[in-house]
Structure 1
């Protein structure tokens, strides 16, 4: 796409959410909208927006950070009473077709995690919210 130096092609280097969003646009995939969260504690304030994103038919949310280098894909949000909240996290390194859907859960590739402990409070995060529906994407804008 021309956004990286020539030596990047064929390398083992990783891309982040910003590049993933650019790739989605460039290759005609789902639309991506970026959201920058300066500190992991700020993700608590984004949970209602993420819930609305999924409730409105939005697709997976790619998550990347700096101090928290463990990439994640969010597939859902469950808001409980008070500050109780959970995120459905998929490890994006998961590959292959499981024989049963429960296999990826049993292997730890996907599961509900408490939102307050899933994100590093000292890390910034970039979120790439995916959507095929331009109206839904506009609805979730901050």
Structure 2
């Protein structure tokens, strides 16, 4: 497993993130009504609030390629809310659109001009670049060959103990972007579960329970994740 503290030296890009007027209100904290997967065990999870961004939630039809952007948007909504809400700079901050995210990546030289307006996907490294540009916030990038390995799970558990934060995840064989926002270890069996928020929902959610019932917010045993390499972006927001 490779670990690095990603802290880009690039100067912030002078791009003003505009306020958004969504067609419908985004659901907040869809995991709030979800119980731990076992009655007895250690449960660690996200502190603070976030909005659930998913396919098409802002009218931009991105099904099939936009999941990384949606995970990033949920993460940014958490960063904004986690920071001091009394700060004028925080009050003036908004979650970037897919097009604005693409503009940032072009402006810093990570992508060519043709990337803006494209349907090209992004991964955890690009997600970090955008977070760094907008908030000068470090992230820890983990490259793990097996998500259920003892070493990887120890890193995830330690992260939730210290930061109670938001982890963006992408894989090589499991290419679907998702977020990890919780950790649970059963006291009886020692089985470990991760709380997943999946942005692939492509309709208008009626309530949190719908997302849970349809599996977009769920506890997943680590032994049920597809085998293969994963990249994790652990956001180091105090």
Query: Among 71, 74, 77, which residue is 2:177 paired with?
Result: 71
**8 Å CA contact 2:146, 2:152 repeated in 1:** no
Cα deviation, residue 41, structure 1? 5.4
- The aligned residue for residue 126 of structure 1 is 231
Superposition TM-score, scaled by structure 1 size? 0.78
Alignment match of 1:5 (pick from 101, 112, 116): 112
Q: 1:67 to 1:26 in 2, by over 3 A?
A: same
TM-superposed CA distance for 1:51, in Å, is 1.4
RMSD: 2.4
Q: Distance in 2 between matches of 1:132 and 1:97?
A: 30
Aligned to 1:22: 129
Partner of 1:114: 221
Q: Secondary structure at the match of 1:70?
A: coil
Displacement after TM superposition at 1:57 (Å): 2.9
- Looking at structure 1, the residues matched to 122 and 220 of structure 2 have their Cα atoms a distance apart, in angstroms, of 24
Q: Label 1:43 to 1:20 Cα distance change in 2 as closer, same or farther (>3 A).
A: farther
* Counterpart-to-counterpart distance in 1, 2:120 and 2:223: 30
Evaluate the alpha carbon distance shift between residue 91 and residue 80 of structure 1 in structure 2; reply closer, same or farther with a 3 A threshold: same
* Normalised TM-score (structure 2): 0.49
Gaps of 5+ in 2: 1-107
Structure with bigger gyration radius: 2
Moved more, 16-25 or 28-37: 28-37
**One of 41, 44, 56 as aligned partner of 2:162:** 56
Q: State the structure with bigger RCO (CA 8 A, min sep 6), 1 or 2.
A: 1
Q: 1:45 aligned to 2:175?
A: no
Query: Cα distance 1:60–1:96, how it changes in 2: closer, same or farther (>3 A)?
Result: farther
Mark the runs of 5 or more structure 1 residues left unpaired by the alignment. Answer: 134-142
